[in-house]
Structure formats: C-alpha cells, structure tokens
Amino acid sequence: MSDFSLALNEDQLQLQKWVHDFAADVIRPVAEEWDEKEEFPWPVVEEAAKIGLYGFDFMAQAMMGDPTGLTMPVAIEELFWGDAGIGLSIMGSGLAAAGIAGNGTPEQLGEWVPQCYGTPDKVALGAFCVSEPDAGSDVSSLRTRAEYDEAKDEWVLNGTKAWITNGGIADVHVVVATVDPELRGRGQASFIVPPNTEGLSQGQKYKKHGIKASHTAEVVLDDVRVPGSCLLGGKEKLDEKLAKAREALNKPKPASSGKQPAMATFEATRPAVGAQAIGVARAAYEYALDYAQERKAFGKAIIENQSIAFMLADMVTEIDAARLLVHRAAWLSRNGTYVNAEGSQSKLKAGRVAVWATERAIQILGGYGYTREYPVERWHRDAKIFDIFEGTEQIQQLVIARAISGLRIE
C-alpha cells in the first residue's frame, strides 16, 4: 500500500475536466428527455464517440495505460454526475470488454474488444450476458447451456438471459453458459456471439424504476451456433479447468473454490460501479447545497439552520469516504494486489451512499424535491440500482464476510 497515492496527476485532472464539461454541456441538457423516452440515447453516444470519449482507444488508454487505476473511476464519476442512464449507455460496452479481457486470449482481446465499440463514424455496442430469470445473484445456477459439436468445431448455446444492458441491440454479446451442470459455477465458460448470429434475439425490454436511458432487456439464445474460436480462453484451457474441478468435486470446499467467469469480470468492475454511484450522489449533494444556499425561509437561507447544514455535512463526508474506498480498490485492482474484498467494499459503500444521499437531497428540497420539476427525484430513482446490479448489497456482504473469515459462508 505504500505506493498508493490519492493525488491525481496532471493528465487525470485534465481528463476530469474534459469529461465533466461533456457531461455538463451535452448530457445534462437532454437527461430528462431521454429519461422520459426510455430509449437508448444514440445521439449522445455518437457525440461521445466523435470526441474520443466512447471507443476502444479511450478504454485501452484509461484502463491498460494507467498504472494508478484511477483514470477510469475519475471519468466514470463525471459521466454519472451528468446522468446515470446516459452514463451507463456510454460505459455499458465496457462490461463486455471486461468479460473478454478477463477470460480471453490476447488474440481474442485484439479481435473482439474493438468490435464492442466500433468507430467514431459507426458506433457499435457490447453486452455482457450473465443473469437469468431464475438465476440473478446465484450465478452458479445458470441454466443457459453450451454444448460442443466436435464434428463442426462449434458451440451450441440455448437459454435466456435477463436484465442485460444493451441486450439484443448489441453487436457483440459475451455469454456465460454452463458446460458441465454437475460442476455448477466451476463448470461454466464464456462465449463470444458475433454480430448477426442466427438464433440470438431480444426478448422483453424492461420498463425500469431508474436509469431509463439505458437499454435493458432479455436475450434469447435458440440453438445459437458459434465457432470454436469464440470460446474465451480456448478449448484446451477449458478442458484443463473442468478436469481439475471434477477432481475436486468430492473434496471439502475451501472458502474460495475457484473463480467463475462472471465473478472474475465483476471483481474487476466493482470499483467502476462504485464510481458510478458516487457520481450520482455527488450530483444530488451539489444540487442540494446550491438550493440550501439560495432558498430562504423565516428570513434567512435554509443552510443557516443546523438541521440542513448538518445533513449537507454528513453527505459530503460520506461521499468522500466512499470515493476513497473506490480509488483504493481501483488502485489495488490495477496493480493486482487485492488483499481481501476491497472491490466489494467499495461498491457496497458507494451504493448505500448514493441511495442515502439522494434521499437526503429530496428531504432538503422538501416538496419540490419530490416533483419531477427538480432532478433530485430522478437521481434518487437512478441510485437504487447500485444496491442491486453486478451483485446485490447482500452479495457484497457475502463476499466480504468470506474474505475476512476464511470460511465458505452460505
């Protein structure tokens, strides 16, 4: 931990301002419109691509070209300060890219990650498909099956995925499927489903409580055939993994019995989700602070009342504390030095803070905060997702509890 620094370098400070300006000038003016439409904000994502904020080059530089690990959470916080739904539309392909990076070979990374983004002239999308109607947090119980057709060197995928960001409209779908049901989570693998593959279709599109500008839908896989080369990591590596898992099947389970493909991806992305939550929380805090300084009651600004001032003091303290956890986790993740469950700690804290801070903002605005005339109502709706997706609040607690106890707590 001696090398961890809280200070942003000059490049990161410039990037922070660049993304913040984009969020202020491009995202915020249309945030309410896209929330009402409940549609994917193609014009905003295309504008982000034109300036280099959406694309493979930006993701590669921000993630792989940054030894501190802080560039990406800094950028994400500013995007989600602009709007969570639009921010997720811009960042959603990154989860598919992370799934490829976490499980694929260098050759697969080079071929497929750029296709998750397309070009500034023709934007593409990626989707990471894990959750299912009967297996949300319980990713070890996935029913989507992948069967190998040795004669054709193809994998055949069948099943339904649920709550998928960019599901059905993405160009590249990364699908986690069960190869050996007996092995549960250790019998799973990840597959690339290339653009226009026959048998993949969009199921129902969900009407959501928040993040409405982000497209969330079912993905239906009906005898989807993909080449053997679309198995992330390759057949040889999978066979070796399955053989080891079968050997260990009847042995006592340790606290951690091997990383599942989905969990490996989520571990890497949890600090980023924490940064998203902080962006929403900060937006609510800043708006409430400005309102409290301008709103007058009983002849003085309401911030002069301790009840209001103390709420704001608590809000800024909690937001700063959550950001510190996120930045620490991002640094540890980038440098491969996770000790326990710092990624889960950062997401757990940041998600809770987002829900709480946006609720406090509504309280400070009073009746106005409860109406759609003010954005704090939208931010509160958006914030709740951070207690749910990419591992619920309770899943984060489970991961942390297992890490600190060394026990396989169920």
Question: Which residues are the active-site residues?
Answer: 390
Give the dihedral sign, CA 164/165/169/174: negative
Task: Compute the distance between CA of residue 131 and CA of residue 150 in angstroms, rounded to an integer.
Answer: 28
How would DSSP label each residue in 56-120? Answer: HHHHHHHHTS-TTS-HHHHHHHHHHHH-HHHHHHHHTHHHHHHHHHHHS-HHHHHHHTGGGTB-S
Using DSSP's 3-state secondary structure scheme, residue 231 falls into strand
Burial of 153 (0-12, 13-18, 19+ CB in 10 A): exposed
How would DSSP label each residue in 248-314? Answer: TTTSPP-S-----HHHHHHHHHHHHHHHHHHHHHHHHHHHHHHHHHH-EETTEEGGGSHHHHHHHHH
Decide if 95 contacts 126 (C-beta within 8 A): yes
Dig out the tokens for 135 from the structure: 């297996």
Q: Pick from 397, 128, 64, 369: which is nearest to 265 by CA?
A: 128
Distances (CA, A) of 305 to 229, 290, 297, 309, 358: 65, 15, 10, 6, 20
Q: Pick from 407, 11, 378: which is nearest to 208 by CA?
A: 378
Using DSSP's 3-state secondary structure scheme, residue 175 falls into strand
- Phi and psi torsions of 217, nearest 5°: -155, 170
Q: Which residue has the tokens 């999978």?
A: 238
Q: Pick from 212, 128, 223: which is nearest to 167 by CA?
A: 128
Count of alpha carbons within 13 angstroms of residue 9, beta-carbon side:
8
